[in-house]
Homo-oligomer: A and B are copies of this chain.
């Protein structure tokens, strides 16, 4: 999978509040499907789909022991999203800097 497509999937996954909430929950500790589902009034199969999306883009991983499937975070994936945002930020900051110096120059000229 090309990295751009991976980033697509990660941002897509993060665009749903249920999924973000699950990630927040998992940042405290791993948890089973039913533990994760418990706060939501959603039907279980619907909720499972969210977990599948999170696992599909690599933000979480799961393992089944007996009849219980346990999910946990896979933190390295979040970096892809963070990296993109970080790059963006430095770019637009650079741009604002340029704008700044442009405005400064304007001001200089103005006061001459």
Does more than half of chain A's interface fall in helix, strand or loop, or is it mixed?
A: helix
**Is A46 on the interface with B (CB-CB < 8 A)?**
no
Q: Complex formed: what's the CA distance from A100 to B81 in Å?
A: 25
Q: Are A81 and B73 in contact (CB under 8 A)?
A: no
Q: Complex formed: what's the CA distance from A106 to B61 in Å?
A: 9
> Closest residue of chain B to A17, judged by CB?
B4
**Is A78 on the interface with B (CB-CB < 8 A)?**
yes
Q: Which of B30, B61, B88, B109 contacts A24 (CB 8 A)?
A: B88
- A51 vs chain B, min Cβ distance (A): 16
**Is A48 on the interface with B (CB-CB < 8 A)?**
no
CB neighbours of A100 from chain B (8 A): 29
- Interface set of A (CB-CB < 8 Å, partner B): 4-5, 7-9, 11-12, 14-17, 20, 23-24, 27-30, 61, 63, 70, 72-73, 75, 78, 81-82, 84-86, 88-89, 91-96, 100, 102-103, 106, 109-110
